[in-house]
Structures are given as structure tokens and as C-alpha cells.
Chain A
Amino acid sequence: DVRMTQSPSSLSASVGDRVTITCQASHDISIYLNWYQQKPGKAPKLLIYDASNLQKGVPSTFSGGGSGTYFSFTITSLQPEDVATYYCQQYDNVPSITFGQGTRLELK
């Protein structure tokens, strides 16, 4: 299985800050990576698919990049409603799908 190492595991930032989360794959997964947001008590929400494509309806303050083994997810200007846990998910060797450990994002 592909192992996904996501960092940091937790992050505290202020409103308006630029926030970046990274995800490293144990081997080359091309662009087969998605990013999800999960708010407390809610189901996950797809934000980014195929590494850099913004899901319909998701604000452009969210973005993703990378390919191969290194990927990043950025919030350009943190808002209070962005407080959540964020997960990367790889699907290179479908049907085996794996997630990163998650990054808990809090307001400072």
C-alpha cells in the first residue's frame, strides 16, 4: 500500500494567515491525490481533486499543487469557517485508497 505522510499534524494560525499543509507519498502517485475538509461532527467535504483541481463550489482561497511524491494544500487567507481537519487521499493503486493522518487546523 501507498503510505501518506501528512504534516503538520496540527496547526494554529490567525485569521488572514496563509496556511500550507503537505503530504508525502511513499512512492510516485503522479497526480492521484485529493484533499478533504472535515468539520467537527460532519462528513468530509471534497475540496481538491487530481492534486490541483478545485471542486465545484469550493472557494478559490483553497488551492493544491504537486505531483509524484510531494503535494501541498494552501489556504491563502484563513477564515474562521476554515477551522477543520484536513486530509489528503491517494488513489494511485486503485482500488487501494489511503489517507494521510490528518491536520487539525485551529485559530490562534
Chain B
Amino acid sequence: EVQLVESGGGLVQPGRSLRLSCVASGFTFNDYAMHWFRQAPGKGLEWVSGISWNSGYIGYAESVKGRFTISRDNAKNSLYLEMNSLRAEDTALYYCAKDVVVVISGASDIWGQGTMVTVSS
């Protein structure tokens, strides 16, 4: 079964850090780019970051640039998001998603169930 399983979310104080993980199964992980998206409670979808199959091309939304770092370990079929200097506005459900091609195209056909990040004192 093709699936993505996120973990690492939780309640964190403003200014602190958190690391999200996503483990893939059921497909050849290193054949595809991967993304992190997020959705604040009751709000729309926002792309956070994307990484090409070999980590050679990485992109970030302006809202997280300089604070978040995306990475992947193809040997472990895993995607990560290191989040530093967290703000209240980073509170959201974070989704890991698979692109349809090796480079960042934007079309994501497989999504995880999401992991909730709450930034609050």
C-alpha cells in the first residue's frame, strides 16, 4: 500500500524548534520529489517547502525561508522538516506529500494524514 506517515508534531513554545518526519512506503521514494504543505485550523492550503529526488533543488515559501529546513534520506525512505524560531502563525496541520515527478512540479498525488503543530506559550 502506498502511504506517507508523518510524525513529530506537538505543542511547542514560540521561538523553540521542532523536527517533523515522514516515512514513505509502497513506492520508490527516490524516484520523486517531495513536499511539505500546511493548513492552519479552518484555513486554506499553503505550500511550505519542496525537495527534488536527489536534494539538488530545494525551495521554501517566503513565510518560512531562513527558519525551516527540508531534507530527505533516500536510504531510509524519509523526509524531514526542521523548524526553528517557531511563531504562533506556524500553528497548522503539516502534510507530507509526494510529487508526481523527480523534480518539483507541484502536483502531489499522495498525501499523509498530517501531523499537528501548535505554537503557543
Contacts and interface: CB of A to CB of B under 8 A. Distances in A.
Bound together = yes
A87 interface: yes
Given A96-B59, A97-B47, A34 B107 contact: yes
B68 interface: no
A96 B108 CA distance: 14
Given A43-B95, A43-B114, A94-B104, A99 B109 contact: no
Contacts of A101: 44
Interface in A24-47: 32, 34, 36, 38, 43-46
Contacts, number: 66
B45 A44 contact: yes
Contact of B111 (A1, A44, A91, A95): A44
A5 interface: no
Interface residues of B, number: 27
A69 interface: no
B113 interface: yes
Contacts of A46: 100, 107-109
Given A1-B62, A95-B59, A96-B59, A55 B109 contact: yes
B58 interface: yes
Contact of B44 (A95, A96, A99): A99
A1 B105 CA distance: 16
A99 B37 CA distance: 11
Nearest to B109: A46
Given A43-B111, A95-B104, A87 B44 contact: yes
Given A43-B112, A49-B100, A36 B106 contact: no
14 contacts: A1-B62, A43-B97, A43-B114, A44-B95, A44-B108, A46-B108, A87-B44, A89-B106, A91-B106, A94-B50, A96-B59, A96-B62, A99-B44, A99-B47
Interface of B: 35, 37, 44-47, 50, 57-62, 95, 97, 100, 103-109, 111-114
Given A87-B44, A97-B35, 5 more contacts: A46-B107, A46-B109, A49-B100, A95-B104, A98-B47
